[in-house]
Amino acid sequence: MDDRQLFKSGIRKFLVWLDHNGTAGYDPYDLWSTPIGTRLRRTYYDYGILAAPLTAPIVAADIAFPLITRLAVTKKPYATSHAHLILGLLDLYDNGFGGENWLGHAIELADELDNMKIAGYSGDCWGYPFDWQNRRGLWPRNTPLITVTPYCFEANARLYETTGDEKFGQRAASIVDFALNDLNNTERPGGAIASSYSPLDKSLIINASSYRAFVLKSGSMLKPNPEAEKLSDALIRFVLDSQQTDGSWLYALEEKGDDFIDHFHTCFVLKNLIKINAIVPTDEVWKAIEKGFGYYETHLFDRLGLPKPFAKGGRLLIYNLYDFAEAINLGVLLKDQIPRAFERALVMGRTTVGNYQLADGHFVTSLGVVGVKNIVPFIRWPQAQLFHSLASLYKALD
């Protein structure tokens, strides 16, 4: 079976599963967002390894019995997964995949996505429908996040480009207003600015700044906005200045425990820089991309050529299929500039469909260190991302 047939079959199988399952689903944070889960996470962040015996039962249960532990959990829709599904459906529409009404399906999901947006801010924004305890505190459900909202921006911008319908253009422009006005800025040396992750923090998380820079830069192409352009450039400056001499990026700069280097966050930074550079090319940004990709391909793949979850930091998984999705996305974006990246994306696509797609059409979530496969279909992590990546890969074969 050639690549086109293989990917087409995998996409079709997933769509059958999606039609049966619906767009709501389980999530990796189901247990950790419960009242006891949030308290235990806070205890772990406060006391570190001393609190491990308290958190160990939830960790063990979630690894060994992920579906059983969710028997009392209600499936939820997620803005992130809706946006990825929309983008994947638009790729199918662009490619004439199967002749079905992919555009109509994308528009339906976009209207559902619009109903999920969070009120009370300068513009449209989205977050998680659960409480999220992290190192910086407890962020209540529906706290807007700059790692979620950009995918909603892309979905609306693509729909506006595809349909010419002003409602999608207005939604995209509203998201730019949020990105410009409702997040916190931390001034850094040399005129750089770091973005917060949410309106509640003042963190120095690298991928958050790259996402915000992309939205502001791309939004300024839809509607000229000098203030957004200026802030985008300062955010880009922070991302470039945070790159280490070996080409890598730490997850964040300010806290011990966030000084890890992992696969999908590295992809997030690289793909945002690639998208920014496609809008306004500069030698400096491209050099950072080349250097970052050099580190990425050397340190974040194993001897089989498959994504390693970490280059520095945690070791709980052999494979995380979210990494596969992001490796494919990155390879598609770099197809013309770094052809070997696209060849690697093809390998990821073949492996995903051939080895990690289940009979009902959904994908394995992860492979644990003892070889146990987590097959719970987390719609936000990574079912929607894998569909989007495979649809993009299929489109890129033309």
Instruction: Based on the fold, state whether residues 263 and 175 are members of the same structural domain.
Output: yes
- Quote the Cα angle for 182-210-279, to 5°: 105
Q: What is the pTM of this model?
A: 0.96
Cα torsion 316, 24, 328, 289: sign: negative
Helices (H), the chain: 3-21, 35-47, 52-64, 79-95, 102-116, 149-163, 166-181, 206-222, 226-241, 263-279, 283-299, 321-333, 339-355, 384-396
**182 located within any domain:** yes
Domain count, the chain: 2
Q: Which of 283, 314, 345 corresponds to the end of one domain?
A: 314
| Contacts for 289 with CB less than 8 Å, ≥ 6 apart | 270, 273, 274, 277
| SS3 category, 249 | coil
Q: Which of 314, 340, 360 corresponds to the end of one domain?
A: 314
pLDDT at 61: 78
Q: Which of 268, 283, 314 corresponds to the end of one domain?
A: 314
Question: How high is the mean pLDDT in each 10-residue block of the chain (398 residues)?
Answer: 94 98 94 89 86 83 79 92 98 92 98 98 98 93 98 98 98 98 97 98 97 98 95 98 98 89 98 98 98 98 96 87 98 97 97 98 92 91 98 95
Instruction: Based on the fold, state whether residues 136 and 264 are members of the same structural domain.
Output: yes
**265 located within any domain:** yes
pLDDT at 79: 98
Instruction: Say which CATH number the domain at 179 has.
Output: 1.50.10.10
What the block records as the tokens of 12 is 């079709």
**78 located within any domain:** no
Instruction: Based on the fold, state whether residues 58 and 154 are members of the same structural domain.
Output: no
Is 250 in contact with 242 (CB distance < 8 Å)? yes
Instruction: Based on the fold, state whether residues 39 and 171 are members of the same structural domain.
Output: no
**204 located within any domain:** yes
pLDDT at 302: 96
Instruction: Based on the fold, state whether residues 58 and 127 are members of the same structural domain.
Output: no
pLDDT at 65: 79
Phi-psi region of 305 (alpha: psi -120 to 50; beta: other; left: phi over 0): left
Instruction: Based on the fold, state whether residues 169 and 275 are members of the same structural domain.
Output: yes
**213 located within any domain:** yes
Instruction: Based on the fold, state whether residues 127 and 188 are members of the same structural domain.
Output: yes
**96 located within any domain:** no
Instruction: Based on the fold, state whether residues 65 and 167 are members of the same structural domain.
Output: no
The amino acid at residue 62 is: D
Instruction: Based on the fold, state whether residues 68 and 141 are members of the same structural domain.
Output: no
Instruction: Based on the fold, state whether residues 42 and 183 are members of the same structural domain.
Output: no
**26 located within any domain:** no
Instruction: Based on the fold, state whether residues 60 and 129 are members of the same structural domain.
Output: no
Instruction: Based on the fold, state whether residues 46 and 185 are members of the same structural domain.
Output: no
**99 located within any domain:** no
> Which residues form the domain of 138?
117-314
